[in-house]
Amino acid sequence: MTARVCFAFVVLVGLLVAACAQTQQAAQPIKMVIARTSGPASALLFIADDQGFLKANGLDAEIRNYPSTADATNALVAGEIVGAQPSAQIVNSLLGRGADVKIVAVVSRNPRDMKVVGRNDVASPADLKGKKVAVVAGSASEFLMTSYLQTGKLAASDVEFVKADPPEIVALMDRGDAQAFALWEPFPSNALKILGDKGKILAYSEDLGYKGSLYQVLSGKFLAANPDAEARLMKSYADAEAFMKANPDAALQIVAKASNLDVAVAKPLLDNGDYHLVADQDMLTELSKLGAWLKDVGQLKELPDYAKAIDTSGLQKVDPSRVTLKT
């Protein structure tokens, strides 16, 4: 065997070894711990998990539930998890804290998911003047209640805000320690079930100009170490969306079970939601709107650089038609 042939043989073996190594690396599942929400808004994640789409797309995912998205994002900042699905308010708060996170897509919009619920003697914002209203501090809950009060020309100073976690807010209403609250599902449905004819819906988020988008955010550090993770997660969600469209009854059962809701309660919530995985202009509009509110109430010093925080590369790889955002 000549030196030239030997050299060619060595090169060929090297290329084969490298190719095998790359194939093995690509086949390795990426481990991640990701937070869900407590209600149907995380439908794509619930279905992706239940139907094995996460595993099929190369993710070894552990899904955790937290009392609120604020708690979930605190865990994200602490490095306990690598992903969460917060609202626009929480995303703004994250960015305002300088958290190393990337916004990769909107996973759901639920314009009727959030509700302002009041006791049955409350007919309008005016009836809440001087009364206690319950909210989750610094979240979509507080923004929505503030927006509701403004429709009756009331300021935040005209009521007493009681700030608590969602389960405690339901208990406050049941005890009569609050006259109204603003929360996302399943808490309004749970509260109305407990209150019976003592409670009612005062307003839906869409009535107050809020679409209720949930954003998939991922740790920047995690993405730097696992550059394929974003596309794998987006593909899992796209698969889940296709499953929802093709199998609406099965999807309803999955989401109802994951949300701990009766199917009859979960169905209208799913029907009223939009579970289309996108990165569009509306996501930036809502972030900016809620960022401005947080700045007005002193929770943000300045509006974040949204363009720097948004990373749609994973969704682009999966389906470029889903990305219409211009930053």
Q: How many CB atoms lie within 10 A of CB 217?
A: 28
Give the pLDDT mean for 96-118.
Answer: 94
Residue with tokens 């679409």, as numbered in its chain: 211
Give the pLDDT mean for 47-58.
Answer: 98
Q: How far apart are CA 26 and CA 70, in angstroms?
A: 34
In DSSP terms, which residues pair with 213 in a beta bridge?
Answer: 109
**C-alpha distance from residue 63 to each of 48, 58, 115, 236 (Å):** 11, 15, 26, 14
In this predicted structure, what is the pLDDT of residue 2? 58
Q: How far apart are CA 71 and CA 87, in angstroms?
A: 12
Least confident of 67-76, 115-124, 171-180, 245-254: 67-76
Residue with tokens 């790359």, as numbered in its chain: 22
Residue with more model confidence, 52 or 299:
52
Pair 89, 139: CB distance under 8 Å = yes
Q: How confident is the model at residue 3 (pLDDT cuts 50, 70, 90)?
A: low
- Sorted by sequence, the CB contacts under 8 Å of residue 243 that are 6+ apart come out as 47, 51, 53, 250, 251
In this predicted structure, what is the pLDDT of residue 4? 56
Percentage above 90 pLDDT, the chain: 78
Domains of the chain: 21-109+213-322 (3.40.190.10), 115-208 (3.40.190.10)
Statement: the pTM of the whole predicted model exceeds 0.75:
yes
Q: How confident is the model at residue 13 (pLDDT cuts 50, 70, 90)?
A: very low
Per DSSP, the three-state class of 15 is: helix
Pair 128, 180: CB distance under 8 Å = yes
In this predicted structure, what is the pLDDT of residue 185? 85
Pair 147, 211: CB distance under 8 Å = no
pLDDT tens digit sequence for 253-310: 999 999 999 999 899 989 989 999 999 999 999 999 899 989 988 889 999 999 999 9
Residue 27, judged by CB atoms within 10 A of its CB (0-12, 13-18, 19+), counts as exposed
